[in-house]
A and B are shown apart, each in its own frame.
Chain A
Amino acid sequence: MNARWLAALSAATMLSSAPALAQKLPETAAEVARPGGTIPGAQKLALVKVADGFNDPVGVSVANDGSGRIFVVERVGRVKVVKDGKVNQAPFLDLTNINPLGSDVQTGFVEQGLWSIAFHPKFKENGHFFVHYSSLPFNGASMVVRFTVDRQSPDALSPEQTTKSAKVLMNIPQPYYNHYGGMIAFGPDGKLYVGKGDGGWEGDPLDAGQRLDTHLGKMLRLDVDTPDDVPYSVPKDNPFAQADRPQLMSLFGITEQGFAKIKIGAKPEIWAYGLRNPYMFHFDKTSGDLFIADVGQNHWEEINWQPAASKGGENYGWKHNQASKCHPTTGPGEKCPIVGVLPVAEYPHEEPWPGAPKLKDGFGCSAQGLGVANYAGFDKAYLVGDWCSGRLWGVAWDKGASKWQLQELLQAQLQFTAGQVDEDGTILATNCYCFYTDDKGPTQNPAGALWRVVPADKVPSGAEVAKVSTR
């Protein structure tokens, strides 16, 4: 049995007196939430600055070790520690100086760099943490690497400790310089999930999303608790763990469904597929449910939801569909099959289809999931920041109306890049000044900041808040 399911079961048991949660996946495009919805109970929000001065912050995490530290990922290849609002001068991790020939991190394009850090569920005991980045020595391949903290220096790994403790789990070659995905995170089942983009260019020219013989365009799931000389193992309950196993051929007495399970070349690490660029995804700590913000192409962004009871294997439709639309989309009246699972929410770009009248409100261009909120009036709402429009969206199941809602919660001046749930349950977010058209390099762009999402009426006096639209 999937341990994630067990975690959800125990959570549900604790709530046994509550009515059964009825949230479900949309079965038709009409059931997919779009801008204009209202999340019952949602309070007005504000973004309070926690710390400033980061070079292209594109990821944030916490160790859940009770230390109160926040770890901000800088694209150039560093991780900075924030404690009590102060940024440690010495980096927690620095991948720019472990190699005498230069940095280990490729940052030539704005989507390249160090994206994510994830702490082992037993970090407090074993000191293991994991990162995901594009490698300079391996020509931009994406690397998943484990490092281990030196207990004598818990806030900063020396270059020697970094090199000595490195354990490479994955080295995934990258065909183009965009759509890497980026986030890695542990699920409530203790497994490491890796968001991998489709490898880039546009329109998924390699059909990576739908092909099972590539790690690209997927959510991967790894068991990292292996001996030091074994990079990882494939959890036995991964949906394609056995699809490509060597076996004798039987032609008779097998059902067609049985034959359909044979998927030659399928990568056993795959947990879900049909994704374009799942840069950010988050588990809800209360239920074990998973939300994935899958960055869209020219016209639509999509938010996927996976219940804790999922056994994996979901196909989120890319490149046949983009959100609930056809890909390529042609606009109203288009006809195409919906492949796999629909998202629970979607929002358009300014031009929802080629030649469409330009929208004046309710649009964005790149969905960055920030974390699942269980405060400020929210019950398991996924907060999503848009990189281009500065909009902060909430996605949640509306029990009363029995449908998913997508509500614009505010529009900030910020370019959202990433988010995470802090140890206290509040949501942290980062912003950069590192847009495609104005990337001066990962240490040359104006400094970005770390923010906390709080109810607007709970902003501490004297705190700096992000400028938001009052229109």
Chain B
Amino acid sequence: MVLGAGAAAEPIVFRHVLDNSPLEVKPRPNEVESEAVKSFKETGKNPYAGEEQALAEGKRLYQVNCQACHLPDGSGRIGSTLIAGTWKYERAATDVGMFEILYGGASGAMQSFARRGMTQDQMLKVIAYVRSLKKT
């Protein structure tokens, strides 16, 4: 659909990856929504993609939170591969889908990182870093 001039873009509707139910994305207590997050929720585009400083922070977060299961190169062991181009949940191919999984959790050990205390801004940095990993 082509938006008319001046029309506001529809905000992204986030859904739970397991059952497609609506996923309410709200800040944690004391979490201030960053400009990047606001923009992402409107456009579905990750403002941190390819951004050097964000990638460095994303890498740090990935090392702390993700790599024990997904391995340093993203090839996956307990957690799924992040670099093969095929996805356990197809929507993880998009940044919105990966955000839905990080925010709302998927199944089993892939629990909600919002519950674990990660901010939405940090999630976007992690996603940017994951997208920068070398593909197989």
* A contact residues around B106 at 8 Å (CB): 413
Residue B21 lies at the interface, judged by CB distance under 8 Å to chain A? yes
Residue A430 lies at the interface, judged by CB distance under 8 Å to chain B? no
B109 touches which of A351, A415, A467, A471 (Cβ 8 Å): A415
Tally of A interface residues using CB under 8 Å:
31
- A-B CB contacts (within 8 Å), total count: 76
- Are A467's CB and B18's CB within 8 A? yes
Chain A nearest CB from B124 CB (Å) reads 20
Residue A350 lies at the interface, judged by CB distance under 8 Å to chain B? yes
Interface residues of A (CB under 8 A from B): 298, 349-351, 358, 360, 364-365, 386-391, 411-416, 433, 435-438, 446, 467-471
- Are B108's CB and A436's CB within 8 A? no
Closest chain B residue, CB of each to CB of A436: B68
- Are B18's CB and A360's CB within 8 A? no
* A contact residues around B86 at 8 Å (CB): 358, 360
Most buried by A among B18, B80, B81, B115: B18
Interface of A is mostly: loop
* A contact residues around B107 at 8 Å (CB): 389-391, 411-414, 469
Tally of B interface residues using CB under 8 Å:
24
- Are B77's CB and A350's CB within 8 A? yes
- Are A414's CB and B108's CB within 8 A? yes
A365 to B107, CA, bound (A): 12
A274 to B80, CA, bound (A): 30
A468 and B109 contact, Cβ closer than 8 Å, known pairs A358-B81, A446-B115? no
* B contact residues around A438 at 8 Å (CB): 65, 111, 116
* B contact residues around A390 at 8 Å (CB): 107-109
Residue B78 lies at the interface, judged by CB distance under 8 Å to chain A? yes
Contact with A along B34-76 (1 / 0, CB 8 A): 0000000000000000000000000000000100110000001
Q: List 30 A-B contacts (CB under 8 A).
A: A298-B77, A350-B78, A351-B76, A358-B86, A360-B86, A360-B88, A365-B109, A386-B108, A387-B108, A387-B109, A388-B109, A390-B108, A411-B18, A412-B108, A413-B18, A413-B111, A414-B107, A415-B109, A433-B111, A433-B115, A433-B116, A435-B109, A435-B111, A437-B65, A438-B65, A438-B111, A467-B16, A467-B21, A468-B18, A468-B19
- Are B78's CB and A365's CB within 8 A? yes
Closest chain B residue, CB of each to CB of A298: B77
Q: Which of B97-134 contact A (CB under 8 A)?
A: 105-109, 111, 115-116
* B contact residues around A350 at 8 Å (CB): 76-78, 80
A364 and B108 contact, Cβ closer than 8 Å, known pairs A350-B76, A388-B78? yes
Residue B25 lies at the interface, judged by CB distance under 8 Å to chain A? no
- Are A415's CB and B111's CB within 8 A? yes
* B contact residues around A360 at 8 Å (CB): 86, 88
A358 to B78, CA, bound (A): 11
